[in-house]
Amino acid sequence: MTVTDEETWPDAAEWTGKIYSGGWRQSKGGVQPVDEPATGERLAEVGVAAPADVARAGNLAARAQRAWAETAPQERAEVLLRAAQVLRDKRGAIREWIVRESGGVPAKGDYEIAAGLSQLAQAVGLASLPHGEILTPTAPARTSYAWRVPLGVVGVINPWNAPLLFAMRALAPALVLGNAVLLKPDPHTPVSGGVVVARLFEEAGLPEGLLHVLPGGTGTGEAVVADPHVAMVVFTGSTEAGRAVARAAGDGLKRVALELGGKNSFVVLDDADIDSAAAAGAMSSFGYQGQACVAAGRHLVHADVVEPYTQALIRHAEELRVGDPREEGVALGPVISERQAARIERIVDESVAAGARVLAGGRRDGLFYPPTVLDRVERTMPAFTEEIFGPVAPLVAFRTDHEAVEIANDTAYGLTAAVHSASTSRAAAVAEQLRTGMVHLNDVSAKDAANAPFGGMGASGNGSRIGGTANLEQFTQWRWMTVLGSV
């Protein structure tokens, strides 16, 4: 991938070692390096927001939000339209940051940009939706209204695996509906998930004080959740961390939207198109090194077709080249960190020690973990029970549709699933019994859409949904007013 002059955006002289909070400014928490996982090269330094920085940002955001809420919805939408144009104009530079910070291939960067544009477009539509209703009066001379008003300040704690997409998914609807935002990007991706976002909206003319980008670790996130001005927290990450966020937010009686982990089942019935199912299964487990909450964590395959499916999956795994994602022909880059690589390695090794068998992959080279296929996986093994967050496809055979449902539901998670069958009605009958917030028939498990209510059940979330018209419910609250007498 060749970097042009345009692709040096955003100008590092503006933001190196700084946070975005009422403009670019020095933080009280020092600076943090940003290194490329594929090469170890130092990419940048960003400021780290200390609790005092978060407190200042909360105050500024609360003040700016009051005027923003009174701004005409169409004017708020115009800001998002301008941000979308900047995103289009700077897509080469933004893709480069996504690739280098997160280790995804260029196609992954292109996907994030396209999905981010979809989120902005979808959010613009919220500005023109009816935000209230006239209620049936309880007395002849009484008029009754109910309408939705902004929450105020929304805290967004962003993950590293799709930093631009997840930022846009929360910021776009929150802002267009009249809220201000405190955004804490993940320490692994503070540029593509933070600096880039700040510059997009800065160039789009978002009034100062409405967006604050506050990089940092756990302490920064805790400060965002605890800040008295924050009325809602949007968190995407692990279930363990999500529980901690929910507990802390509960003390402040704050609204919380949690999008957490998954142990997603990819179900292949005996009448499925094996080649098509294996291609979708490979994409679901190996795409972006399996580092997605919606990745397929278990392949449940009917015993009559498990052998041809396994061989097809192995072929896909062996065709995928692993290496520096900036090199031509590379399909899988590095996993995000040594900690994550060691976790994947542990889960595979412990499962093999318990009797599972490696049919492809299974041995890492530093942060590069190859597409791995495991069979003879039992329901007590880590490869079955734990979210791997790596390019590993555990195989489990079943005999009946009922057994497939029972195995798929043998988990605390409930995010997404996929079911493959030549019969749509049969696939739907299985899908309807799965305890997941999302399910896809004859497709990949890893799907997202700006107009869909995205979220999970059980340990995969708290019942919240983000996307489409669900955003109106998430980022506003009801106000009721009655008028006695003539209006």
Candidates 36, 222, 259, 387; catalytic one:
259
Work out whether the CA dihedral 433, 437, 442, 444 comes out positive or negative: negative
Q: What CA–CA distance (Å, rounded) separates 368 from 21?
A: 36
At 441, is the secondary structure helix, strand, or coil? strand
Is 259 part of the annotated catalytic residue set?
yes
Q: Are 236 and 193 in contact (CB under 8 A)?
A: no
Residues linked to residue 234 through DSSP beta bridges, in sequence order = 156, 257
CA distances from 485 to 133, 141, 342, 481 (A): 19, 5, 70, 13
Which of 374, 394, 423, 395 has its CA nearest to residue 273?
423
Pure H helices in 216-298: 218-226, 239-251, 274-286
Q: Are 191 and 101 in contact (CB under 8 A)?
A: yes
Q: Which residues of 337-349 are buried (b: 16+ CB within 10 A; e: fewer)?
A: beebbebbeebbe
- The 10 Å Cβ neighbour count of residue 249 is 20
Looking only at the bridges linking them, the beta strands covering 264-268 and 296-302 are parallel
Q: What CA–CA distance (Å, rounded) separates 274 from 442?
A: 11
Is 350 part of the annotated catalytic residue set?
no
- The 10 Å Cβ neighbour count of residue 98 is 29
CA distances from 56 to 21, 22, 53, 62, 229 (A): 8, 10, 5, 10, 10
Both tokens of 346, joined, read 């542990």
- Side-chain-side CA neighbours of 240 within 13 Å: the count stands at 3
At 258, is the secondary structure helix, strand, or coil? strand
CA distances from 90 to 46, 97, 183 (A): 20, 11, 21
Q: Are 473 and 453 in contact (CB under 8 A)?
A: no
Pure H helices in 289-400: 306-319, 338-353, 382-385
Q: Which residues of 304-315 are buried (b: 16+ CB within 10 A; e: fewer)?
A: ebbeebbebbbe
Candidates 36, 222, 293, 387; catalytic one:
293
Is the backbone of residue 458 left (phi > 0), alpha (psi -120 to 50) or beta? left
DSSP H or E run through 482: strand 476-484
Residues with a catalytic annotation lie at: 259, 293
